[in-house]
Structure 1
Amino acid sequence: MGLIRWMSVAVVVTSLVLAALVFSSTWSELGNRIGAWITLAVFVLAWFTLGIRAFSNKTIAFSYIALLAVLLGVGVAFLPTMATLQSVAYPLVWVIAERTRNAIIGNVAVALAVGIGFVADSGTSPEALLSNGTIVALSLAFSLALGLWITQISTLSNQRHDLVLELHSTRDELAAISRDAGISSERERLAREIHDTIAQDLTGLVLVAQRAKRELDNNHPAAAAEQLELIEDSARAALAEARALVTASAPVGLTGDGITSALTRLAERYSRETHLTVTVDAEPLPTIARETEVVVLRCAQEALANVRKHASATRATITVSTDDSGLSITVADDGVGFDPNITHTGFGLEGMSERLALVNGRLDVASSAAGTTVRATIPKEVLA
């Protein structure tokens, strides 16, 4: 609507100025001046009846451009001053024509009509043809150059607009992908935490409850009471881990006195629950980051859980050491072993590998009929 309004202003103002010029051209015959005024009136009327509607109708656009060429030819035939209408006619053709080719054809048609008008007014003498031809050619060339330049700018602007829209769309898609990736990562983290804590505690509860039942069946109330006490301790530990998970706080095993103490408590608890002898061999460790302590503790928990569920072992040892390359924690047992090359459906070893990958660590597993050794290595640069 803004373009139509400004073009309407241009048509009216140009027509009024030309009408005043025609009125002041007393050297011309009255009939020519009247013809020029009528041409201007038809020019204005044609714009408000056809020109405004030409933007949305191809047939009307073609008819209006043809009428525009005829009006300019007739107007120039009455008075050469009417050639000034080219300043409005050429832009009108450019904005109305749907394609660049149509705009060029329309401009050429207007130029030819103006040339015919000059011939009708000035004759075909060489001087007149040269003078008028130069004016028409220069006007047409300037119109085509300006029109093509503006068209190119408009095309580039539209392309940039499309690129901006595409960038916005891509940004929204990336935001959605990032959000989904964050949700997936958080789900994986929660799955690892639940598997390494609550699931292991519940597994221990089941085993201790079964043992307590056997003690009751064998009429050993004292032993059953001991197992019930273990059940209570395990349930409290599972509840504490669940609360820590909900509040996103540190694992309950890490109480601030270091990873060695946490591993010692873990070994004592597993020994009580499984009657498996678990020992800790840890050299004095430097201060390490809480996130790294969590990884070390979870790896030890998962390795011991695997020993309890699969190894049929009688002894397990947790060894923690550091060197120039970093920290390593090893859990070794004297169980029946397994084949590491066989694909397993459990979450344990895979979860340990994923957890270690978060700190650029590595998991190595060696197993034979004499037992299994699980070694987790964390590089030195992520310890502190």
Structure 2
Amino acid sequence: MLKVRWWDAAAFVAVAVTVLFGLVGPSVTRNDVGVWGVDAAFLVLYFAYARRYATGAPMRHHLAISIGFAVIIAVGTAFEPSFAIMQAFVYPFVWSTAPDLRSALAANLFIAVAIVIGYVARLGVAGILTGVGVAVLSVGFSIALGLWITRIAEYGEERGRLLDELRAAQGQLAVMHRDSGVLEERGRLAREIHDTIAQSLTGLVMVAQRAGNRLEPVEGEAAASARGDVELIEQMAREALTEARGLVASLTPVESEAGLADALRRLATSFERETGVRVSVAADADALDRELEVVLLRCAQEGLANVRKHAHAEHATIEIAAGPAEVVLVVRDDGVGPAGAVPGERGFGLSGMRDRVALVGGEFAFGPGETGGTVLRVVVPRTDAAAPIVTSPTPPLPAPAPSPTPTPASEENPA
């Protein structure tokens, strides 16, 4: 808007100068009246049509504006040669409305020809040399100035583009630094939990076992009650130790070169060791976005957590199929089935997974399998990772956290 107002001021100044040229004479002539009429036509053309394209016009509008101003220049110069001063406004204006450099040069040459025509119409054949001289000087200066301004504008646009890229790179770098800091802090917390809480709980379990062994030969109601309390203490300590180890595993990142398939195999191995349920993994998950890998890993982890808590299964499978547009994760088991459980009805596991999948535009289904058991199916759209502007190691994929200690069989709904 500010640029258009400057053009408005320049148009009024150009008209005022041509009007003053007629007023400074000894008397007002017919040619002066003709110049004022052309001034009025110029203002009408500018404010009614050309002004809206002051910052750039399509080719057809640029051509119409150039022709209109050329006619006004030719007619005004035919009335009074001093009207050619209007070119001080017309040349830069048609240059600013031009869609490209070639059309700007053509419009300038067209205005120069109009000036020559105006001089010839006013002075006859004698006006050819004068008109050509004025046109050559003016159009030469206009082209030189226009090219210089165009080069400055292109330089400014290039600087703006580079500045945007720099800001984007700084944003990516800040995100990577933040992620790196988060991973370092998670690793530190994992070490602290392992070296303090987990070790203390391990010692508590051993003390409870030793106390139970010492109370074993003791008879009496008080000894039996004490043995029950010691067993309860040992059970609670073991459960707390399992939770602590789960936190350590979830907070500790795996090596940066490890991918989703490797993380799933580690999850399956840990699950088999802790529960005795055989888990097979079939993962076609190459070249996936890291955020997508994290979502799929957490979904697989939650699927196995439900197998551990509720399925009473002997075998489970994790399958990942990566297509060109989407990635499908399927976790199935041969257990007792979901028994009509609804995600989020009593627990937060499946409800949280539903929200996590929705954040990446995916969907999931949870229900009984065709041949029994339970099937968890997650479908997420595939996104190709953009090439990073700043080279830096890829943030590591979070390690799968082991599921909590098995809960009593009376629990029917997934966590």
Q: How does 1:205-224 map to 2 (within 5 A)?
A: 205-219=204-218
Q: How does 1:93-132 map to 2 (within 5 A)?
A: 93-125=94-126, 128-132=127-131
**Aligned position for 1:364:** none
> What letter corresponds to residue 75 of structure 1 in structure 2?
G
* Distance in 2, Cα, partners of 1:22 & 1:99: 37
The answer to whether the 8 Å contact 1:111/1:140 transfers is yes
**Aligned position for 2:169:** 170
Over the aligned positions, Cα root-mean-square deviation in angstroms equals 2.8
Per-residue CA deviations over 1:332-376 (Å, capped at 9, x if unaligned) read: xxxxxxxxxxxxxxxxxxxxxxxxxxxxxxxxxxxxxxxxxxxxx
The answer to whether the 8 Å contact 1:76/1:114 transfers is yes
> What letter corresponds to residue 101 of structure 2 in structure 1?
T
Deviation at 1:208? 2.3
Q: Does 109-118 or 207-216 show the bigger shift?
A: 207-216
The answer to whether the 8 Å contact 1:73/1:117 transfers is yes
**SS of the residue 1:133 aligns to:** helix
> What letter corresponds to residue 85 of structure 1 in structure 2?
M
**Aligned position for 1:22:** 22
* Distance in 1, Cα, partners of 2:130 & 2:45: 30
State whether structure 2 residue 70 is matched by structure 1 residue 75: no
> What letter corresponds to residue 105 of structure 1 in structure 2?
A
> What letter corresponds to residue 123 of structure 2 in structure 1?
S
Per-residue CA deviations over 1:225-275 (Å, capped at 9, x if unaligned) read: 9xx8xx99xx9xx9xxx9xxxxxxxxxxxxxxxxxxxxxxxxxxxxxxxxx
* Distance in 2, Cα, partners of 1:179 & 1:147: 47
**SS of the residue 1:218 aligns to:** coil
**SS of the residue 1:141 aligns to:** helix
**SS of the residue 2:125 aligns to:** coil
* Distance in 1, Cα, partners of 2:123 & 2:117: 10
Deviation at 1:25? 4.2
**Aligned position for 2:278:** none
**Aligned position for 2:4:** 4
The answer to whether the 8 Å contact 1:54/1:64 transfers is no
**SS of the residue 1:123 aligns to:** helix
Deviation at 1:35? 1.8
State whether structure 2 residue 191 is matched by structure 1 residue 192: yes
> What letter corresponds to residue 187 of structure 2 in structure 1?
E
* Distance in 2, Cα, partners of 1:7 & 1:108: 21
**Aligned position for 2:156:** 157
- Using structure 1 for the length normalisation, give the TM-score: 0.54
Deviation at 1:139? 0.5
> What letter corresponds to residue 99 of structure 1 in structure 2?
D
Q: Give aligned pairs, total.
A: 226
Q: How does 1:250-289 map to 2 (within 5 A)?
A: none
The answer to whether the 8 Å contact 1:53/1:60 transfers is no
The answer to whether the 8 Å contact 1:32/1:78 transfers is yes
> What letter corresponds to residue 202 of structure 2 in structure 1?
T
- Using structure 2 for the length normalisation, give the TM-score: 0.50
**Aligned position for 1:145:** 144
**Aligned position for 1:134:** 133
Higher helix share: 1
The answer to whether the 8 Å contact 1:50/1:60 transfers is no
Compare relative contact order (CA 8 Å, sep 6+) and give the higher one, 1 or 2.
Answer: 2
* Distance in 2, Cα, partners of 1:89 & 1:130: 22
Deviation at 1:132? 2.6
> What letter corresponds to residue 3 of structure 2 in structure 1?
L
The answer to whether the 8 Å contact 1:72/1:113 transfers is yes
Question: Could you tell me the percent identity over the aligned residues?
Answer: 40
* Distance in 1, Cα, partners of 2:157 & 2:148: 14
